[in-house]
C-alpha cells in the first residue's frame, strides 16, 4: 500500500474532470483539455482557457463541484506585441488535494490505490487571455480560495493586472510608496521603468546619465 496514485488513476481522473467541465461550459466557448507533464512521472493535468467574464462561474464550479481546494500560484504576463485579443494573460495554478479539516491530534491515512473520483489529487491550470489595453482586469477569486489573496496581490504589484473585488489590495514586493502605475514586469516601458528616472538612474547621486536613455525595451 502507498499514498501515491497510479498513472491510470491520474489519467482517469483528468479525463473525468475535462468531461465534466466540457459538459458544463463548452457552449460558452470554454476549452478544457488533458495535458501530460513532460518531466517527472509525466502525470496528466487539466488545462482550461476562458475569458474573464466566465472565470467566476468556472472557479466556483471547480471549488464546489470538482473539489479543487488550493490555489498554489497566480501569474500574469504582458504581451505588448500580441494580438488585440491577447495583450495580457493571467494563469491560475490550482490543486485538488484529499485534505479535510480534522480534529486536533488526529490523523487521516490515505491509501493511494483505493482513491476514487474527487479524492484523487489533480492539478488544474487556468489561462485567462485579456485584450490589449491599459486596464487589464479579471474578477478576484479571493473569497473562493484563501491562497489567492497574496498571489493576486503579487501579480498586481509586479504586472499591474487588476483583480476586481479583491479586498485590501496593496503592494507586497515593491515599496509601498512606489509611484502609482509602477509595475516592473510590464514590458512596454522604457528601460528605466515608467520614466521614473529619479528612482533608478542615479540612486547614488552621481549625476550620471544612463547609456540606454531613450531606448525602448
pLDDT for 105 equals 76
Determine the pLDDT at residue 138.
97
pLDDT 10s digits, 1-19: 346 889 999 999 999 999 9
- Taking CA 169 as the corner, what is the angle to CA 178 and CA 194, rounded to the nearest 5 degrees? 30
Distance CA 206, CA 151 (A): 37
Q: What pLDDT digit, counting tens, does each position of 151-171 carry?
A: 999 999 999 999 999 999 999
pLDDT (0 to 100) of residue 201: 42
Q: Which three cell numbers stand for residue 137?
A: 482586469
Sign of the Cα pseudo-torsion (97, 102, 104, 107, in order)? negative
Cell of 18: 475535462
- Give strand ranges (E) for the chain: 31-36, 44-49, 70-78, 88-96, 122-130, 137-139, 162-164
Q: What pLDDT is attached to residue 214?
A: 53
pLDDT for the residue 114: 82
Q: Where are the domains of the chain?
A: 7-186, 189-217
pLDDT score for 3? 60
pLDDT at 211: 52
pLDDT in the model for residue 202: 40
Which positions of the chain have pLDDT values less than 50?
1-2, 190-208, 216-217
Question: Quick one: pLDDT at residue 171?
Answer: 92
Q: Read off the C-alpha cell for 199.
A: 528612482
Longest dimension (CA), the chain: 69
Confidence at residue 101, expressed as pLDDT on a 0 to 100 scale: 67
CATH class, range 7-186: alpha beta
Residue pair 129/86 in contact (Cβ under 8 Å)? The answer is yes
Instruction: Report pLDDT for 1.
Output: 37
Amino acid at each position: 500500500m502507498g499514498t501515491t496514485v497510479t498513472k491510470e488513476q491520474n489519467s482517469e481522473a483528468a479525463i473525468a474532470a475535462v468531461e465534466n467541465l466540457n459538459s458544463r461550459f463548452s457552449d460558452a466557448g470554454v476549452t478544457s483539455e488533458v495535458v501530460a507533464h513532460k518531466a517527472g512521472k509525466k502525470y496528466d493535468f487539466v488545462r482550461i482557457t476562458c475569458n474573464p467574464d466566465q472565470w467566476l462561474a468556472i472557479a466556483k464550479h471547480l471549488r464546489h463541484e470538482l473539489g479543487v481546494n488550493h490555489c498554489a500560484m497566480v501569474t500574469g504576463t504582458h504581451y505588448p506585441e500580441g494580438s488585440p485579443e491577447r495583450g495580457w494573460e493571467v494563469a491560475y495554478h490550482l490543486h485538488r488535494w484529499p485534505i479535510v479539516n480534522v480534529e486536533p491530534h488526529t490523523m487521516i491515512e490515505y491509501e493511494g490505490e483505493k482513491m476514487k473520483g474527487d479524492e484523487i489529487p489533480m492539478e488544474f491550470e487556468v489561462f485567462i487571455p485579456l485584450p490589449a489595453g491599459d486596464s487589464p482586469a479579471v474578477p478576484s477569486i479571493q473569497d473562493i480560495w484563501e491562497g489567492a489573496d497574496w498571489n493576486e496581490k503579487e501579480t498586481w504589484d509586479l504586472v499591474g493586472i487588476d483583480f476586481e473585488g479583491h479586498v485590501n489590495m496593496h503592494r507586497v514586493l515593491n515599496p509601498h510608496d512606489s509611484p502609482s502605475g509602477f509595475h516592473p514586469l510590464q514590458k512596454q516601458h522604457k528601460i528605466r521603468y515608467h520614466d521614473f528616472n529619479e528612482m533608478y538612474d542615479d540612486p547614488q547621486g552621481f549625476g550620471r546619465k544612463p547609456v540606454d536613455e531613450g531606448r525602448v525595451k
